[in-house]
Structure 1
């Protein structure tokens, strides 16, 4: 059984996340905390976790990176969402055959001086035959060394106004497989919308992106064959995403331990059962990512992702029960733990709709079972 050490955040970062989690989640437009998330995570060396020393990382594996995301999610899911976007882009460069692109951009991404965004949610759904690709690449020469890129993606996280690069998959109309490009924010024709008007996670720099005749050459290619690359990268993409659920569920269950003796007596059995389920799902996730089994058996990872979302929902309900009526008080002077309970409920409501959504995953599992039965 694969295990990873539970990641401990530096005290100053944990304190900053706790102090600003509510503002990052719900009131980002009135604060400047959104711009601080990537630099603060970088100063804590978090983007280097799971990256080889030879490439500028601190060593470890993808499992260690998942645990680092879980550690941040215990304090702020919005910050963990940003972390996931940055670390996913880093993972794409690690798995890319384009060594020059990796050498050029990985140092800035690890240092947090540049943001990386994963615009591959559409591509992951394409891989599962859920929807077509929304972006298109037209070769501008016979050697396919320059491309005109067009299309739009409605939802991408970590599009920092200070500068970003987004990984996105493009359909091609010359008979070649779809390709994945790294698209820099300052390329001609790249347009970022205003931040989306979300009900939570408002400090995550989430916006829409439109490309209009954006010309890039082949040096920006992450992968020439998107389908093969995505099948290989998907276990890490989903695994890192699961770190958000693991951390949020752990923190919600910890609220039971901090409750009064009477509350603990009422909820301890339910909380203990959820902890056992959370530990079992986490172990299954880590085993599948480490062994590579999820590459050939994506349905097994889909089941883990669905199971973790169910645990998060149940843990959030216990969190609310432990807080009681205090959880509905928003008056000045309300204890922070009460406000945190309300925030965690909003965060938990987001978990089922992170792409791929639970509905999409359940549809995929149903198709898989029908195929097996046939």
Structure 2
């Protein structure tokens, strides 16, 4: 019996960029019952600031980040599927990362700024060891969005014999210079915070302002222009009604000298400050640096003869979701992946979703996205070619 929560030591891990982590531990959660005969295991991979808590385990449990998608009677129905999600290597929610102790049992020996450079491929290697430890030798589906989609793609290429189907949501075959540039600006916001101290800050005195500013910058790439126009426009926050603004100096850009924070602020500004403040309360700055760098290094064709060589390794059926309003990983980037898979003769279905919420649409309408993925999973061979070049197919209307 596989527990619904746990941590597994997967041993030392030699890293793609050089060096080795002497001991790696991964935190995980599961839902449903694994049936080795039915091969019903679904691996869900989380995005940048996510964790292993995809959904609540009971009515008293807190909701998960894909709550509407996973559970009894939901699109990924845990009465049928055994669902597993692990906190990624480099994370800060129980898995080995910069916030972890270098020496087991000694919390004062944090990795901090000494944590080595890792890649998405390293994350997948660590996940494979986790599955080995749990006795799971094959996945019916691996699915994820953004950083999670990078992992899903790496799984299909790195371990083709262990994956029957992969759903790559809002993720490219390789990080573009544009995406790398945005991540670098975010990291510099953290580095310029005096509290950063090269990543070796005390846990109770992290670079709060730098991390909040990094998150504010990131949000400008995560959401859609049309959504913000409809949601905020040029509306201002009534003076004295913005609790975030009053604390802005502690988290992000300080108010102008002599001018109260609530004197003048657009609603979109208040929203960004709120997002920055919220992340600071739950996430580690050095982890943010580590994982954004791993996203920058993502290139599924590295060392494999490019994208063409990577595509030829795939044996799984592949579902690719593009989001029409995605500013971070635009449709053209997934188009390159789909073309490479088709030219290699692979079974690939591609959908372009006309969603207004930008890159985060797969989180905003998790149920709609998961429903389409599971419908595709149940229809092997049906319309495998997907839309013709240049066509766009709406996956669903979703919900605001």
Query: Normalising by the residue count of structure 2, what TM-score does the alignment of the two structures yield?
Result: 0.29
